[in-house]
Structure 1
Amino acid sequence: QLHAPDQSRISLKRFCAEEEKEIPSSEIVKGYEVGPDEYVIITPEELDSLAPEMTNGIEIEEFVDLVDIDPVYFESSYYLAPDKKSEKAYALLLAAMRDSNKVALGKVVMRNKQYLTALRAAGNAISMATLYYPDEVTSLEELDGLPKGEIDASPRELAMAQQLIEALSGPFEPEKYRDEYREQLMQMIDEKASGKTIVALPQKKETASKAVDLMAALEASIAAAKDKGGEKAKKSA
């Protein structure tokens, strides 16, 4: 963020609302809210005593099938590379996981925090994904508005929905998808940096949505999907 008149950087100040004054970082402590306007203060020494022991490796606890891990648990992914001393162990683990189609669950400490991780064979490398702990994932029981029981759909409606899935099914090819907003933003930045004048397009007004005819929408989607599939076949011919 910049200050518009002189384009200088904005700095955020630490401000005490109670005393209405700026305060130094030495007067800031960490607190955990246990009730309305009620906090338990935790000192840096207390936090240090709880910090997990730093290690140079990953502690593997068990092996599971990848399909048994709900994707909702995945957080961030990394590729692991061995050092000279662990090249053989790395290659053995990679080959064993590839042959068994198993995923290793383990724990690793990064940035003073212990993470639950899943290791899997990814080509010629081992991929490590950090996982959320169960209490960090919202359970379905906590969500409101989900349909309860069987949906009231006719066999024809279900068949149409299945046709749509079949018409749009294909292999996962991530290169087909682009972050269009980021591309447009970077193009705008490049053009402004080169001195071009940018004209902002008027925003579309939101209109009240009308009730959707499910069958008509499915039929239109299936027709569009089939047309799209035909275009791909022509291009590849």
Structure 2
Amino acid sequence: MHTMWKGTISFGLVNIPVSLHSATENKDISLRNLHKECHSPLKYEKVCPVCDKEVGNEDIVKGFEYTTNKFVILEEEDLKAIKDEKQDKTVEIMDFIKLEEIDPIYFDRSYYLSPNEGGTKAYALLREALKDTKKIGLAKITIRSKEHLAIIRFYQNTLVMETIYFPDEVRDFKEVPNVPEETDVAGKELDTAKMLIDQLTTEFEPTKYKDEYRSALLELIERKKNGEEISTAKEPKKKDNVTDLMEALEKSLKKTKTTQKKGTKRKTTTKKKKSTTKTG
């Protein structure tokens, strides 16, 4: 597993040398833009629209646009001074809190933490303490010159660090357009919706969900590689929109009941077959 950061975690007087590893991976399929005529990959050049010429890296400076076409120029020395000041490799746990106190909207990326040389015992100590108290550590960390708020928690016998957004990075829900202020829902509709939720409630099994689009795209690419002729399926006719909310809920409820009955019948049939099997 690739190590992307090394440093120490500190809480109180305890210091734990650790390494950071990405806990997730992006499995999006990357497609290149090619020239239609010769299938050559296209290049993207940095061109100044005013001077009408290509610009090299040595001729590029950083600037912050504070209003349209007005920039504050930031020299490399300015950025380096801030970077060096914030480049501390210590993750200090500032507070311990409960995980449920943080709304999921704050979560960004997940990383596994592993102990470096000499840190195994302290790593195990923090892991067991977090596990037993059911608390998480709230800390700050700088990764690639960007400061992050982060939490450290127990997960599957490992310590996991998850970067979270600062409060001012989460947009105010009041800015969301067209959200109804008052609740105008009939009691029967609400009861039916709750019944539907109850029928569809199950335990979370992540392995039963998959990216259908990615699977279909990989299959298409494989078939193209093998020289198969690809035909495009016709789109199915669109169903009429169900305008009545109650009708939509009742149809969903009926469909769910039918599916559950079929599942029960299959289980019963299987049990009967098993009971009639003779043993030698």
Name the structure 2 match of 1:135: 168
Name the structure 2 match of 1:220: 251
What is the SS of the residue equivalent to 1:58?
A: strand
From the superposition, tell whether residues 190 and 221 of structure 1 become closer, same or farther in structure 2 (CA, over 3 Å): same
Q: How big is the shift at 1:177?
A: 0.8
Q: How big is the shift at 1:226?
A: 2.5
**Higher relative contact order structure (alpha carbons within 8 Å, sequence separation ≥ 6):** 2
CA distance in 2, matches of 1:48, 1:189: 45
CA distance in 1, matches of 2:208, 2:170: 30
* Selected match of 1:87 from 120, 134, 150: 120
Name the structure 2 match of 1:102: 135
Structure 2 residue 56 is the aligned partner of structure 1 residue 32: no
What is the SS of the residue equivalent to 1:175?
A: helix
What is the SS of the residue equivalent to 1:85?
A: coil
Task: From the CA coordinates, give the structure whose radius of gyration is larger.
Answer: 2
Q: What amino acid does structure 2 have at the position aligned with 1:145?
A: N
CA distance in 2, matches of 1:166, 1:102: 30
Structure 2 residue 100 is the aligned partner of structure 1 residue 67: yes
Name the structure 1 match of 2:75: 43
What is the SS of the residue equivalent to 1:99?
A: helix
CA distance in 2, matches of 1:128, 1:236: 43
What is the SS of the residue equivalent to 1:198?
A: coil
Q: Deviations over 1:157-197 (max 9, x none)?
A: 11111101101111111111110000001111111111112
Name the structure 1 match of 2:19: none
What is the SS of the residue equivalent to 1:81?
A: strand
Q: Across the two proteins, how many residue pairs are aligned to each other?
A: 235
User: Which ranges of structure 1 fall in alignment gaps of 5 or more residues?
Assistant: none
Name the structure 2 match of 1:177: 209
CA distance in 1, matches of 2:247, 2:78: 62
From the superposition, tell whether residues 75 and 232 of structure 1 become closer, same or farther in structure 2 (CA, over 3 Å): farther
Name the structure 2 match of 1:14: 46
Q: What amino acid does structure 1 have at the position aligned with 2:225?
A: A
Q: How big is the shift at 1:230?
A: 3.5
CA distance in 2, matches of 1:20, 1:3: 23
Q: How big is the shift at 1:155?
A: 1.4
CA distance in 1, matches of 2:122, 2:73: 45
Structure 2 residue 185 is the aligned partner of structure 1 residue 153: yes
What is the SS of the residue equivalent to 1:84?
A: coil
RMSD: 2.0
CA distance in 2, matches of 1:101, 1:8: 55
Contact 2:242/2:248 (<8 A) preserved: no
Q: How big is the shift at 1:228?
A: 3.0
CA distance in 2, matches of 1:167, 1:139: 33
What is the SS of the residue equivalent to 1:152?
A: coil
CA distance in 2, matches of 1:39, 1:27: 16
Q: Deviations over 1:60-119 (max 9, x none)?
A: 111111111010000111111112311111111111111111111111222122211111
Q: TM-score, normalised by structure 2?
A: 0.78
Structure 2 residue 157 is the aligned partner of structure 1 residue 124: yes
Structure 2 residue 141 is the aligned partner of structure 1 residue 114: no
Q: Percent identity?
A: 36
Name the structure 2 match of 1:198: 230
Contact 2:47/2:53 (<8 A) preserved: yes
CA distance in 1, matches of 2:136, 2:64: 36
What is the SS of the residue equivalent to 1:170?
A: coil
CA distance in 1, matches of 2:264, 2:159: 36
From the superposition, tell whether residues 25 and 225 of structure 1 become closer, same or farther in structure 2 (CA, over 3 Å): same
What is the SS of the residue equivalent to 2:93?
A: strand
From the superposition, tell whether residues 122 and 2 of structure 1 become closer, same or farther in structure 2 (CA, over 3 Å): same
